[in-house]
Structure 1
Amino acid sequence: MSPTSNPGAVAVSKAALTGEAAPTVTLAEHLQQVFVHVKVGNLIAGLSGGVVSTLVLHPLDLVKIRFAVSDGLELRPKYSGIFHCMRSVWMQEGLRGLYQGVTPNVWGAGASWGLYFFFYNAIKGYTKEGRQTELSATEHLVSAAEAGILTLTITNPIWVTKTRLVLQYDAGSSGKQYKGMVDALVKIYRHEGLPGLYKGYIPGLFGTSHGALQFMAYEELKRDYNKYRKAPSDAKLSALEYITMAALSKLFAVATTYPYQVVRARLQDQHNKYNGVIDVVRRTWRNEGTFGFYKGIVANLIRVTPACCITFVVYENVSRLLITQPH
């Protein structure tokens, strides 16, 4: 999930999207206009969806990351497939092993989904302010990208700790480098400074395209489907309909952007050292070819598709309960 190093990107100007001339507006005025559309219900609904889906599907996330970094180092366990990986972890460490790194994952997913929906709906509301027409696909894309950039800037340290905890292979606690999320955060900051907590941030920025494409597809699918059944564009759908829209949009986004997740995981890994994104890409290509950039994609699809469906169904229903007015 995703952010820009330029805080001025909080809100896209309507002039940039519509081509209309607009008076100069300060950053403070932009922020004030955007936060008029902020609804805490979106934050709570998104957080609820992220936490529920993460708790249910964390073991598959662990498998995906372990496959994504499988670059041949001797210290890494060797797995023949998804179920072999899960069975091996279960046999060595039990349920606790399958849920290694779940704490930062719950914090990260909850915060990411909550903040993402929070920022996305605020930016979308600001962009649509005073207009009778629906937002275009490009406007949905830009709103989602901006929301993703802000979210990643806040949550990247949590994702680094999750990756480090998931990649602790020693079954004995004495051999593990980190005791938990807080210990990992403290040790990473102490030994690697702020840059250590923001490893993988650059490929994460590319990853904003994943969320942007997913949200654009989701919004367009919902709107076109409601148009097809001659209902208002924001009409409530059934759980099955939300699941279908979410699954299709997620599959589309994963298929187009997965390699950045491999690059990001490898940068955040404590067992190998890279000199940046270009170094990861070069070495992965040289040693593993195209296939290297898609390691773990099957586990990822098995995990993220139901996770996305759970998140969006929980979000849509919780937000309906908490927010009485359309947004």
Structure 2
Amino acid sequence: MSPTSSTATSLTVASNGGPVSTKGSLQRLFSHVKIENLAAGLSGGVVSTLVLHPLDLVKIRFAVSDGLALRPKYAGMFHCMRSIWQQEGLRGLYQGVTPNIWGAGASWGLYFFFYNAIKAYTKEGRQAELSPTEHMLSAAQAGAMTLCITNPIWVTKTRLVLQYNADPSTKQYKGMVDALVKIYRQEGVPGLYRGFVPGLFGTSHGALQFMAYEELKREYNKYRKMQSDAKLNPLEYITMAALSKIFAVATTYPYQVVRARLQDQHNKYNGVLDVIGRTWRNEGPLGFYKGMVPNLIRVTPACCITFVVYENVSRFLFGQ
């Protein structure tokens, strides 16, 4: 069953098995919405982005590296970072940071916001813990809802990160707002939603990550003979977050390459299948894993920072 159909079913059947109105179901769903989850998730996303944006920039540049002559050639991750630093300084390593902060902050904030509301709604009236499948479906639904709101921000971030020339007069976009306006004027709404389809597939990444994170916490607390939602120390949160992130990245990384190439202004593709076909023909299966090493180096600590900040800020806001 798809996440969408699962949500629709849960919104039209009461916990006692009888039918209820959609309006009543939505009211019950919104009763579980907590602004504290939004604030805590946003805090985690912003902090991790400020610390680790340069690695995100390197990951994207490797992901779109398809042999075009107009692109700089990098021998490796550190060569890439050193070249950007020498040519453009610290500002070069933080190209695209504004939409990244907006995107990461909004994405993590909305993700935790929707995820906790859906999870609480699903558990309403039950004593039993949610199953791994229910955790996964809750995360997938939250991811799809978040992407619908934030995809234009991610397109602008990718476009800004892929401006290679250090001379500002030759750059196509002057900043986040300028990029949003120009993309809309030149490409319309479809331009702002490039990469949306592989992004939807990417909700499986978040779903797998949150499922693994929740299950690791539950099993660990069961081992400690504690309640499943018992507070952990920062090192324990870091361990759970790192293991769940590595699992999710290793499983779903190719979609990120496809998505970045669709959003790249230097090349034109006729959709997802065209990207997959050309990447496979020209670069083989390894082409779908370009940039995965810098991505792992970036997202693992980013995830750890985000989850530690989220868990501690949310407990502070909820007075726990």
Query: Which category describes the TM-score, using the shorter chain as reference length?
Result: over 0.9
Per the alignment, residue 253 of structure 1 pairs with 248
- Structure 2 residue aligned with 1:241: 236
Give the distance between the partners of 1:259 and 1:21, measured in 2 at CA: 42
Q: Compared with structure 1, are the counterparts of its residues 27 and 190 closer, same or farther at alpha carbon in structure 2 (3 Å cutoff)?
A: farther
Counterpart in the other structure of 2:75: 80
- Asked if 1:60 is matched to 2:55, the reply is yes
Higher relative contact order (CA 8 A, sep 6+): 1
C-alpha contact 1:49 1:110 (8 A) present in aligned 2: yes
Match of 1:186 among 173, 176, 181: 181
C-alpha separation in 2, matches of 1:293 and 1:23: 47
Cα offsets for 1:37-81 (capped at 9, x unmatched): 111100000000000000000000000000000001100000000
What residue is the counterpart of 1:13 in the other structure?
Answer: 10
Normalised by the length of structure 2, the TM-score is 0.96
Structure 2 CA distance for partners of 1:112 and 1:10, relative to 1, 3 Å: farther
Is residue 28 of structure 1 aligned with residue 19 of structure 2? no
- 1:201 paired residue number: 196
Does the alignment pair 1:107 with 2:81? no
- Letter of the structure 2 residue corresponding to residue 143 of structure 1: S
One-letter amino acid of the structure 1 residue matched with residue 10 of structure 2: S
Give the counterpart letter for 1:58 in structure 2.
H
Report the equivalent of 1:127: 122
Counterparts of residues 1-327 of structure 1 (less than 5 Å): 13=10, 22-324=17-319
Structure 2: tracts of 5 or more residues without a match: none
Asked if the contact 2:11/2:26 (under 8 Å) is kept, the reply is no
Structure 1 portions without partners, runs of 5+? none
Q: Shift in Å at residue 32 of structure 1?
A: 1.2
Over 3 Å counting, the alpha-carbon distance change for 1:98 and 1:12 in structure 2 is farther
Name the amino acid aligned to 1:174.
Answer: S
Distance 2:55 2:158 in 1: 13
Shift of 1:227: 0.1
The Cα RMSD (Å) is: 1.9
- In 2, are the aligned partners of 1:285 and 1:292 still within 8 Å (CA)? yes
Normalising by structure 1, what TM-score? 0.94
The whole-number CA distance in structure 2 between the counterparts of 1:25 and 1:148 is 26
Q: Secondary structure at the match of 2:130?
A: coil
8 Å contact 1:38–1:122 — kept in the other structure? yes
Whole-angstrom CA distance in 2 between matches of 1:292 and 1:137:
32
Instruction: Kindly provide the CA deviation profile for residues 119-177 of structure 1, in whole angstroms up to 9, marking residues without a partner as x.
Output: 00000000001111100000000000000000000000000000000000111001100
CA distance in 2, matches of 1:196, 1:9: 30
Aligned partners of 1:120 and 1:25: how far apart in 2? 22
1:195 Cα offset (Å): 0.3
Please say which of residues 20-29 and 205-214 is displaced more in the overlay.
Answer: 20-29
State the number of aligned residues. 319
